[in-house]
Amino acid sequence: MSEELRRRMVEDQLVRHGISDRRVLDAMGRVPREAFVPEALASSAYMDGPLSIGGGQTISQPYIVARMLEAAAIAPGDRVLDVGTGSGYAAAVAAEMGATICSIERDAALGEAARARLQALGYDVAVTVGDGTRGLESPAPFDAILVAAAAPTVPEALRAQLAIGGRLVIPVGRTRQGQELRRIARRSATEFDDILLEMVAFVPLIGHEGWPDASGGIG
C-alpha cells in the first residue's frame, strides 16, 4: 500500500511539478516517509505538504526535498552535509542516492530521535546535535550542503566548507512568508556562482550565523 502511495507521490507531486532527476525520483520512491512522521500522521505521510514532527518543526513538503536534492546534483559517493536533520527524511533520501551523509540538528530531542530512526531503518547517516550554521569542520569539505531552514544571509562557514565544484542549496530571506531558495556553487577558492531557484517558506535557521532565537528577526 505505501509503495503505491509513494509511486503516486513521485508521479503526481514530483514529476508533474518538474522534477526529472531519475535518481532523486527513484530514491524518493523507496524511502518510507510514513516512518519519519508521528504515528498519528502516518496516513497523511504522502500528502503534498509539510507535516508537524514536534518541537514546533516540520518534515518538508516532498516536492521541496526533491527540488533541493536535484539542485544539489548529488552523485553516488558524494560527501553531503544535511543541516536541519528534523525527522531525518531528507538525509535518508540522500543516503538512498548513494551519498555519504552527515546531518546536524540543533534540537537535541529531534536529533536523537532521528539518529535512532535512521539507524533502525538501516540508513548509515552520522547525526550530530549542534549548530549547523557552523557546518562540520570534520569531515569538510563537502560536495553538497543542503540547508532545510531559512537563514538571514548565507553562512560563511558553509561556503568555506564547500569543496571546489561543491553545491550549497539554502533558503535565504528575512520574512517567514517567503525566502529565496538559492544554489551556490563553488568555482574556485574565491569564486562562487549564486542562482535563485524559486521562492519558498521555511522555518528559521537559528544559530551563530542564523537567527538569534525562534522569534528573532524572521517576520
Return residues touching ligand SAM (CB under 6 A): 57-60, 83-84, 86-87, 89-90, 104-107, 110, 131-133, 148-149, 202-203, 205-207, 210
**Nearest residue (CB) to ligand SAM, 164 versus 214:** 214
Q: Using CA atoms, how far apart are residues 95 and 108, in angstroms rounded to an integer?
A: 22
Nearer to ligand SAM, 138 or 190 (CB): 138
Rounded Cα distance, 21 and 13, in Å: 14
Q: What is the nearest approach in angstroms of ligand SAM to the Cβ of residue 57?
A: 4
End-to-end CA distance of the chain: 40
174 neighbors 181 (Cβ within 8 angstroms): no
> Could you tell me the smallest distance in angstroms from the CB atom of residue 135 to ligand SAM?
10
What is the rounded distance in angstroms from the CA atom of residue 209 to the CA atom of residue 154? 8
- CA 209 and chain centroid, separation: 18
Of 2, 52, 60, 215, the active-site residue reads 60
Annotation says 43 is catalytic: no
Pick 13 or 60: Cβ nearer ligand SAM: 60
d(CA 55, CA 57): 5
For the CB of residue 142, give the shortest distance to ligand SAM in the complex, in Å.
15
Active site residues: 60
